[in-house]
Every structure is written in C-alpha cells, then in structure tokens.
Structure 1
C-alpha cells in the first residue's frame, strides 16, 4: 500500500475491524512499509481489541529494529522514515488549503484571520456577508518549505490529557419516558412548562393569576404570566393576545401605536409570556404596555476549559443517501489524525447519522442503502475513521430510527450495539452536554422549520439559521409551538424547556451553516455532509455541506473548516 495519507491508514484498519489512536496512525504512516506494519499491528493486538494503540505499533517496531551494528540498515531506515515524513507533510497540505478558518470576535461576529499582516480572500459560508469565512491557503508562507509534522505526544502526555477530560450529560430522558399519549399527559407537560418558565418571569413583573385579575377593578395596573393561547389581529390593526395560566385565561390588547409591533411579530403559540398594562374600565381586557420573554440574561457568564482543547460540532451525516459526501467525510477524519487536530478531543454530533427510510415522499429513489440497519452498519464503518481516543456524544434526529415526537430518547439496544466501535455516549434529543466546564445544549433542530415559517425573514431564515436559534433562546424552549410540524410527546416533565442557560447552543436539521452570539451564548448550526438531493431541490434547499465547526473550549472562539 503506498503511503498516501493518514486516511488510507485508517481505512485499512477499519477494513480489518479496528479503529486507532491518533498516535498509532501517525506511527504507522511513518513506517517504511505501512501495509506490512498494519498487518503486524493487527497480529500483535489482542483478539478482543477494537482499536490499535500506539503501544501495539511500538511493539512491532521494536521487533523489527535493525541490528545497531548494521550501519547500512540504520541509514536505510533513516532515509525511509524521512521520506515517509515528507510524504505525510505533502499529503496534509491539500487538507490545510481547504481549511476555512473563521473566529468569532468579542461581539459574536466572525473575525477574519490573517497571515503576515495581509487579509486572505473571503469565502462565503452563508448569505450574510457578516458571516463569511476567510480561506487560509496554508499555515505557512508559500515561499517557505512546509513544516514537518509535530512530534507525537508521549504515552505520559497522552495519559495526562485523558485524565484531564471531563464530560457529563444533563436532561437525558432516555429510558425515562412515562407518557401514554392521553389527554392527562399533555396537561402535565404544559403545566410543567408553565411552572418552570413562569419562575423566570416572576422577578420582572408583579404578576397576578388570571382569576385574580378578573376580580380587579377597572383602571388597575396589572401583569399576567401565561402560555399564549391565541394571537390574532383586530380590524383596527391592533393585536389581541390571550394568555392562559393554571387558573384560567385573560385577554391582552396590544395597541399598534404602542411601539410593540416588533415584539408582537415574534410571538409563537404556546410559549410563555408576561404582559404588563392597565385594565380597561370594565376590567374585561388588559391594555398592554410591555411584553417580556423568559429570555437569556445579557450578563450570562460562560464557562471555559482550563486548558487548550477543542470540540468538533457536526450534524446531519446522512449515511445511506445517494448524496452522502463520503470523500468530504474522509478528508475530515483524515485531518483529525493530523498534528494540527491534536487539540480536537471531542466530537458532538447533533443528529441524523443516517438517511433513514420513508422520511419524505419517494425517498427510496434517493437511497444508496435501503435497509435502515445496513445504514447504521455503514455509519459505524465511517465512524471508525475518527481517532479512537476521541470522546463522542450523539443525539438522534428526525431521520434516525427513533420516535419522531420530541423529546427523542437515545437509540435502542440493537442500534447501539451496531455503533459500538467507539465508546460513544448516545443521549436524547435535546440534551445538555458539559464538556470540561462548557455547557453545550444539543438539539437536532426540527422546530427551526416552525420558527422560520412563522417569523419575519429578517428574524429567522434558512440562510441565517442562528437567528432562528436566538428566538428559541429568547423563549427558553427548543420547541415552543405545539400542533404544527414539530411533534411533541407528552411527558410528566417538559424536557424541551431550557432551564439553565447554555454556553453553546448546537443544532442541525436545516443543512445550513450559521453561527453568532446571543447574550454571550454561541449559537451554531453546523451544516451537513449530504449534497443537494432531488427532494431538496424541489423545496429550494441549497445545503452547506462538508463543513466542521471547531470550538475552542478554553475561549469559545470557533474555527470553521471546509472539507469539500
């Protein structure tokens, strides 16, 4: 096998049923005969091993070490090793040239990176010109020779890094579903939603229950917190909002000359809202002076890792589709094995690992793999290309083999057993993953369709999916509207409420790349790994495919790399 790239090493190992540590791949790539080294490493590994480690490679290297008195052998080995290193460096260059690097600045907008004081040509990654990525053609000057790969970390260094890793999961409802779909279950869900979200608003308004407001005299100042039961326009151009709490309903009239129109057009059915105003003379209606959403505090303080470590945020791989971009995926996993990607120790995947079956009309005509279990088998093979020491967390999406209603529990045991090539954590959608002190809210993002359909384009669009995510943060709920495209499963607890403010909000689903900061929360929609399908053409979706946002967990700066 010619030494072409780390990806070839990884694929050869995956074909034999193994994944591998980054250091092991680097050592194998530097062997004078990588094919023979791979065979030897597989022979050395125990029968029950699932991954090739650096120690396995070092063992075969020691077994094949030349006699120290044989100067000719030493010289030949040294030349072969040097040639291998040069080949690896040359092969990594195209990956670096395709790396699109963009960092968020202090205001949350991406800031272009530069080299030698000159600005690189921009490459658009979304329709908003403020969200553009600057393409770095190389990390070194074109007049200088490429730097050799960094020295692989020693075993003691690797052990220290592993010891520093810390990851925990909150709000995982897998195995905790209690709903039966009966009316009483829905009542419990919405009651829980009201109780938890109203607590966030009670410190801002002096609220009264609906039945108490109904007994107040006309002309009194009043405030109410409730779920939006109805929103409609009057003939005069005003808006009538009906709020419901645990005691009843009460109407609020928002006058068009109050300057609240910009807020009214953000209201969704079933979300929690506070209204302040004055009761009419007959006390039958509340004239609104102000509206309040639960919202994220502007003073939110983010967490941070105490070392330089990174997480790759991806979603919507869609293995099994005719349009799955296998080459781009391999370039991504190849890059993960390079010294440049050493800090990437976590992979957070926000749903739709496979294309699924019967998700949309005539989908079978666009499938490369028609059996859902075979799709997961293929995904597991692609997952083997990821470095074996990477911590992986996955949530399901609407194309995955779980219930469509949200919250979605993690996969069943049969699907989990197929994807056991990594010790991946498979949790529910949504879930909060705390990675070395950074809280990442992972949600696949089906409700973004609803938000984009209901709100003005300036506030939510497919070209700027992060702005739709801002609305979910403002409402402190990932799927506030019930009864539309987003299916909701009734549970004793509303797992879709955003109780604790995350540091990072990561979604997928819409196949568009977008990011920005809202009240210090980094909102990221990570695009996809599927080229445009015929169905997407029919609904005018032009996907952003082959991108990998790379998050610095110590600074919450982000780099977007392109692998297409």
Structure 2
C-alpha cells in the first residue's frame, strides 16, 4: 500500500519513488508534481508500473494521466519545468535479486563491511525531511581568480600565506623580526616566525634552516642530538614555522631549542550533527577509463536505494570525476571514451543512478577539465550543464563544506605525492595515505611546498591555507584507502573506482578500488563499505 504524504515538492515524489525501488525520468517527476492530486497520481503510476520495471518513464505517467487519474491531466501533461532534484533512466540492475544487509563495523579501527551483495530488503531508502538539511560552502574561489602570472602576484600570495600562518604561531613564541635579531647581542634568547627558505645539512650532520620573514632571512641551527631533530625530516620549503633558541656569541645564528608548527590545537573538539545523518565520501571515479569499475559503481548506487542506506543524505566527491585526456604517457591506449565531453556525459549518466534525494557536492581534481594549478576553480558552465543531475553543488578545489554543522575540508590531494616523496617511509607512504594528510593538518596548509608536483596559481589570497580546523579532512588522488584521526580531526582518503591501469602497474601503484567510506555525522564514526 502506498504511503500517502504531501507531495507539493518534487523531492518528496523522488523519495516516495525511491522508497518503492524506482528511479524516474526528470519529466515524469514533473508530470506527477503538476497533477491536482500528486499523491493519487503517484499511487496510480506505481500500481500501473510492471513488476520488472526499473524506471518510471514519462510515457508511463502520461498513460496514467490520460486514463483520468489526477484531475488536471492536461495541465500535468504539458508541464516542462525542471524539478529541484532529478533522477535518470540508467538505473542499475534490480537490487531485489539478493537480500540482507551487510554487517557494519564502525570507528577509527573499523573493518570493512561487504556491501557487494547487499541490495535487497525493505521498500528502499526513506531519507529524512530535506528541511533539516543544511549546506554551507566556504573558500570557493570559482569565478574569483585574479592572478595574471606576474611576479607581483606570486609575492602577494606568499605574503598572504605568511601573514595568516604566522598569526597562528605568534601567540606561542615571543618572536622578533629578522632585522631586529641582527641587532641583538650574542647569547640572547630569541624566537623567529618565518617561512622555510632553505634546509641543508652541515659537515658535522647538524641542520641549518634558513627562515624568511618580511624583513629578511636568518639562519637557524638544529643540532643533530636534540630530541626534536627528527622534525627536520618533516620540513618543506615554503611552509611557515616558529623556532625558539639562543643567539650565538656573535649574534649571527640562532641555536634552536624548540620548533613549532601551526598545527591543530591539542584541545580541538569537532562539531557533530544534532541528528543521525550520514555522508558518503568518495573520489576518483575516472569515468572514461577502460578500468572504470562500472559494476562496482552500480552496486554502490543500488545500495543507496536500500533501507540500509536511508541515513545517507550527502555524497561528497573529491575530484577526478573522469579519466581525462593527455594526463600521462600513452593514456589514449587505456581510454574507453576518448572525448573529454563524452566522458562527462557518461559520468552524468552514472550520477543519475544515485537516489534523487541525496545532496551531492563535488570538487575537481587533476584529471578533470579545469586548470592544473591550485586552487582549481569549479567546472565551467558547459560542464556544469552536462553534470546537472541532482542539481549537484560544484565548488573549487579545495573548499570547506559544512553539512549539518560538520565542516569538511575537501581537497583532491595532489600535494600528497610531494609529502610522500619528501618524507621518510615511516612518516608517509601511499599504503597509509592518512599519515601524509596528518602532516598537511599539522602545517595548516594543503599544499605547502611550491614546485615539483605542485602547481600554484597566484591569487590575491592563498586559498590553500587551513584557517579554521575542519572536523573532517577528505582527500583522494592517490587511489588508496586510509582513515584515522589526528587530534580529533577525522582524515579520510577514500580510494577510487578504477581498477589498476597499465600505467599504474608501471609505477607500482596498487589501487584500493570500489570502497565507500560512510561517516555518521552525529558521532564521526566511520564505516567502510566495499562494492566489488
């Protein structure tokens, strides 16, 4: 029996259809919503739909209306306005073929719940009232790019970085500008807040770090026998740190006694939602690749239609929606779709299989059709039109998305390559991608070192600084699954939806494919579900 609820909004119609296991064409939803009695019309449409149907089509709704169901059939049949949410005709295979829900494991040390056969049971997901939802996006630079690539632009962005990060450090040390230090007498206690300009080892195995502020540069010596000397392994050029110590007899060098990063305060307590609601965090879909795992994606989308996923109201995608073109050598040999726009068309079709009442937020990555230099603006209007399913919110890389009061820093993650390359294996590896994420939180910057893997677009402000500590830090890029907490910040790298390519084999990358981390926003507990 169809549960009768007010159907004044297309979103409510979508939820009712999802609850009964159906997708629907966008226009079909519009036709139902435009009837004088949407509830009666929906009931008639469901009753008239064959048992083996997967999608309610526009033609099916028109037939019901032509039979006189819904007292304003002519008006409904002529309606063509766009609903606030949309579903599509490419729904995956019937999820009633197998039954039962996968076991769930949660928490920081959670195992992995096998969802590869969990597509049955119940009447489908029944998500909460959309009125309870809230989404705020901060740090979106889309349409705000000001950089021209001139020298002064680079000066401006590094100056902005220094000022904002140094403000986070100045309360911890009694710092002096470098020109003031040069005038102080030998053996004086001193402190500097500066940007790392150079790091080199001495003949005796000590470390000489040159720090720069707006007044000049000053050399700082870390003795190899100091207990914090291993922190030098974590330093990158262009990051901002603070040091305390004692000036040499001649005042020309600072012997370092303490070293500080901007870091997450040890007292940090994350915010949580005031109701039970979940978010799925994924990345690196790579539609267009021959290795795109379409079956795993369909299993994931199908699972989202089940009662087991009824609390999943948000889907956050951290970049690389498509495989792109010309990203690495001989990529054309591994493409299933060779035109970039056709890749986005295909991705949009796969997006339609996601339940229409789930809010989708996504950022670009280095395979997407935006500039490579970070920060990356959100997609242009042509691509946004292609990916219009669900009215997905598209923002820049990085951005901070606050859902139900929980802030999520979304960053695709190219700089993770830099961290892993520069740091010793015990501090950062691809097999544990959450560890290099911890270092970015520690430095309060998502891409501290300019050059190498990192391309920087100079803007009036540095959009890559982490001003406010996020509750969740979500990245992708490295195609490895990893998660954990750093000073109460939940860090998740969500793996990918692409099996190992020949190129990945050549560089020894073994991807974690077909996983979807599900986060309880009211507790920040995490469940990892697999769909392969």
> Which structure 1 segments of 5+ residues have no match?
1-5, 55-86, 112-131, 140-145
Contact 2:211 2:220 in 1 (8 A): yes
Partners of 1:147 and 1:408 lie apart in 2 by: 40
CA change 1:41–1:305 in 2 (3 A) is farther
Partners of 1:502 and 1:548 lie apart in 2 by: 20
Matched, 1:318 2:286: yes
Tell me what 2:422 maps to.
454
Counterpart pick for 2:143 among 175, 185, 188: 175
Matched, 1:298 2:266: yes
Partners of 1:379 and 1:15 lie apart in 2 by: 20
1:159-558 matches, cutoff 5 A: 161-558=129-526
1:38-77 matches, cutoff 5 A: 38-39=56-57, 41-43=60-62, 47-48=79-80
CA change 1:30–1:470 in 2 (3 A) is farther
Instruction: Return the offset for 1:304.
Output: 1.0
SS of the residue corresponding to residue 364 of structure 1 reads: helix
Instruction: Return the offset for 1:339.
Output: 1.1
Tell me what 2:70 maps to.
none
SS of the residue corresponding to residue 91 of structure 1 reads: coil
- Deviation digits for residues 443-486 of structure 1 (CA, Å, limit 9, x no counterpart): 00000000000011111110000000000000000000011111
Instruction: Return the offset for 1:499.
Output: 0.1
SS of the residue corresponding to residue 422 of structure 1 reads: helix
Counterpart pick for 1:91 among 93, 98, 102: 98
CA change 1:37–1:545 in 2 (3 A) is closer
Tell me what 1:133 maps to.
112
SS of the residue corresponding to residue 496 of structure 1 reads: coil
What is the aligned length? 487
RMSD of aligned residue pairs (Cα, Å) = 3.1
SS of the residue corresponding to residue 559 of structure 1 reads: strand
SS of the residue corresponding to residue 129 of structure 2 reads: helix
TM-score of the superposition, structure 2-length normalised?
0.85
Contact 1:251 1:286 in 2 (8 A): yes
Partners of 1:534 and 1:433 lie apart in 2 by: 35
Instruction: Return the offset for 1:134.
Output: 5.8
Partners of 1:410 and 1:136 lie apart in 2 by: 32
Partners of 1:529 and 1:162 lie apart in 2 by: 29
TM-score of the superposition, structure 1-length normalised?
0.81
Instruction: Return the offset for 1:517.
Output: 0.1
SS of the residue corresponding to residue 494 of structure 1 reads: coil
CA change 1:36–1:263 in 2 (3 A) is closer
SS of the residue corresponding to residue 229 of structure 1 reads: strand
- Deviation digits for residues 355-405 of structure 1 (CA, Å, limit 9, x no counterpart): 000011111110000000000000000000011111111100000000000
Contact 1:515 1:523 in 2 (8 A): yes
Instruction: Return the offset for 1:35.
Output: 3.2
Instruction: Return the offset for 1:36.
Output: 9.6
CA change 1:525–1:257 in 2 (3 A) is same
Instruction: Return the offset for 1:261.
Output: 2.2
